[in-house]
């Protein structure tokens, strides 16, 4: 993607539910005060591309922007910054950018270098494309400009830019030697490597081969061949709808969007993928697999359901996690008091309403409201991310942290059982009763 080409198009993604009504002309990114609290588009772009193997990420910015990568220290990539200063703002940082590219190639020999424009570097008028073209010819490796300045939008929009840029500059450049009939691409976002590998293992056990896995340690060569898959499977990756749609337009690759959180969701996901191939043998194998796994899971969950019956949970999670845990909690007989949606896209919010079916409140405002609901609904446990456990601590109830950074997998049938065991372990953890008990002088 060139500096400005196609950016406007990405603000109007036709696959989003709110664009189904063409008369309303609703854009995907409605920027308003406070939009960036949950992260900017630069953060979304680098978060989407950090899983790349043997890649270098050069952030053309002051030293502050790279701080958003501190949660992804285990990524199989190297992160650099040009550390722009006042002199660069006045006279330009082109020389610094060029020398940084040379330094990176000399010292770590990456397969690809991603260069990220940020708010500062996108506004001072540098000829970044000239530098990239010159260095690409000299070094002989792909150097890809990611035009995702923070002011363009939130995290999902940055991920959308990253996916489409990848398609336009890397895909379709090589052909595989051994294409198979059941080759599929797995496309994820904000998922741990552990999660992506769990998806891979589950689908391979049915008979699929994972041709390319975006968000799960992909490399340059795999990405260049991604256009030869028979199906794109989006897993909790709504921002990647633009990527899937454009791959459909360019190479006629169909795509489905599924979730593997919960027993019913997993079975539905497998059936959705299998139906695309219209293969009788594959259908029989998948149905036998589903029946076997569901029976085994039901037997394993009997004791867990007894322990968790009548427990009450509250969800304060962002994005896809706001709804992915609802089916599993219902499966375990846990009542959902409320679910927060103030950090969600419109599509995620609609999914919450669809899954709750009127059973449980929806929190639209900030987390200040959580403590009141915890007291009124006698909540036993709060499911939250690393930043939002304060309400549980203030109300003296157990909390369970959910984050892709923790590398915890609750995927598929085995994931439901793992989730049940962790939920029980958290509720029975003596840590909470010890810490929250009254002091001797109270």
What mean pLDDT do residues 79-103 have?
A: 90
Residue linked to tokens 């978060």:
47
CATH for 7-169 (3.30.230.70, 3.40.50.1980, 1.10.10.10, 3.30.470.20): 3.40.50.1980
Helix %, strand %, coil % of the chain (to 5):
50, 15, 35
Would you place residue 323 in the very low, low, confident or very high pLDDT band (cuts 50, 70, 90)?
confident
Would you place residue 31 in the very low, low, confident or very high pLDDT band (cuts 50, 70, 90)?
low
Q: Average pLDDT, whole number, for the chain?
A: 85
CATH for 302-436 (3.40.50.1980, 3.40.50.620, 3.40.630.10, 3.30.420.40): 3.40.50.1980
Q: What is residue 12's predicted lDDT score, i.e. its pLDDT?
A: 61
Q: How far is CA 137 from CA 142, 146, 165, in A?
A: 9, 19, 19
- Rounded distance between C-alpha atoms, residue 151 and residue 43, angstroms: 11
In the predicted structure, residue 140 carries a pLDDT above the cut 70: yes
Q: What is residue 436's predicted lDDT score, i.e. its pLDDT?
A: 79
Q: Are 159 and 189 in contact (CB under 8 A)?
A: yes
Q: Are 92 and 258 in contact (CB under 8 A)?
A: no
Per CATH, 183-289 and 302-436 having the same topology is answered yes
Would you place residue 27 in the very low, low, confident or very high pLDDT band (cuts 50, 70, 90)?
very low
Interval 160-195: pLDDT, tens: 999 999 999 999 998 887 778 899 999 988 777 888
Tokens of 257: 């969007």
In the predicted structure, residue 34 carries a pLDDT above the cut 70: no
What mean pLDDT do residues 259-274 have?
A: 93
- Rounded distance between C-alpha atoms, residue 421 and residue 406, angstroms: 16
- Rounded distance between C-alpha atoms, residue 100 and residue 66, angstroms: 15
Q: What is residue 2's predicted lDDT score, i.e. its pLDDT?
A: 47
Would you place residue 13 in the very low, low, confident or very high pLDDT band (cuts 50, 70, 90)?
low
In the predicted structure, residue 150 carries a pLDDT above the cut 60: yes
Poorest-pLDDT segment among 66-70, 123-127, 190-194, 310-314: 66-70
Query: Whole-model pTM?
Result: 0.85
Residue (of 31, 80, 373, 76) closest to 220 by Cα position: 76
Q: How far is CA 304 from CA 115, 147, 191, 225, 356, in A?
A: 49, 48, 26, 44, 22
C-alpha 170: how far from chain center: 21
Crossing angle of helices 412-427 and 280-308, in 10° steps, is 10
183-289 — its CATH code?
Answer: 3.40.50.1980
Would you place residue 197 in the very low, low, confident or very high pLDDT band (cuts 50, 70, 90)?
confident
Q: List, in sequence order, every residue forming a beta bridge with 338; answer none if it has no partner.
A: 314, 361
Poorest-pLDDT segment among 82-91, 220-229, 316-325, 364-373: 364-373
Question: Strand 231-235 to strand 209-214: parallel, antiparallel, or no bridges (unpaired)?
Answer: unpaired
């Amino acid at each position: 993607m060139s500096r400005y080409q196609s950016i406007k198009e990405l603000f109007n993604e036709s696959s989003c539910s709110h664009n189904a009504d063409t008369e309303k002309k609703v854009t995907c990114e409605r920027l308003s005060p406070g939009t960036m609290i949950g992260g900017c588009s630069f953060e979304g772009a680098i978060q989407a591309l950090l899983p790349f193997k043997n890649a270098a990420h050069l952030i053309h910015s002051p030293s502050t922007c790279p701080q958003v990568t501190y949660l992804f220290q285990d990524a199989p990539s190297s992160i650099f910054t040009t550390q722009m200063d006042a002199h660069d703002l006045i006279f330009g940082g082109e020389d610094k950018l060029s020398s940084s590219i040379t330094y990176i190639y000399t010292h770590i020999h990456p397969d690809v270098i991603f260069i990220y424009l940020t708010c500062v570097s996108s506004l001072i008028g540098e000829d970044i494309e000239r530098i990239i073209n010159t260095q690409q010819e000299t070094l002989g490796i792909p150097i890809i400009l990611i035009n995702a300045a923070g002011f363009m939008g939130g995290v999902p929009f940055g991920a959308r830019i990253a996916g489409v840029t990848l398609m336009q500059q890397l895909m379709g450049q090589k052909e595989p030697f051994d294409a198979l009939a059941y080759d599929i691409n797995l496309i994820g976002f904000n998922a741990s490597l552990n999660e992506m590998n769990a998806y891979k293992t589950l689908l391979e056990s049915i008979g699929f081969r994972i041709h390319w896995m975006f968000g799960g340690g992909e490399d340059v060569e795999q990405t260049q061949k991604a256009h030869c898959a028979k199906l794109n499977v989006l897993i909790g990756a709504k921002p990647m709808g633009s990527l899937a749609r454009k791959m459909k337009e360019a190479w006629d690759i169909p795509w489905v969007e599924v979730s593997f959180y919960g027993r019913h969701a997993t079975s539905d996901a497998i059936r959705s993928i299998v139906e695309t191939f219209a293969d009788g043998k594959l259908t029989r194998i998948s149905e036998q697999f589903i029946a076997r796994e569901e029976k085994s899971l039901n037997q394993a969950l009997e004791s867990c359901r007894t322990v968790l019956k009548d427990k009450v949970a509250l969800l304060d999670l962002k994005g896809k996690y706001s709804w992915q845990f609802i089916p599993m909690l219902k499966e375990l007989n846990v009542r959902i008091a409320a679910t927060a949606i103030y950090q969600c896209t419109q599509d995620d919010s609609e999914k919450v309403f669809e899954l709750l079916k009127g059973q449980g409140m929806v929190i639209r405002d900030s987390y200040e409201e959580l403590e009141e609901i915890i007291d009124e609904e006698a909540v036993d446990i709060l499911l939250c991310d690393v930043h939002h456990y304060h309400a549980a601590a203030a109300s003296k109830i157990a909390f369970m942290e959910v984050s892709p950074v923790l590398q915890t997998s609750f995927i598929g049938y085995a994931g439901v059982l793992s989730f049940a065991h962790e939920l029980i372990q958290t509720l029975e953890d003596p840590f909470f009763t010890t810490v929250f008990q009254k002091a001797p002088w109270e």
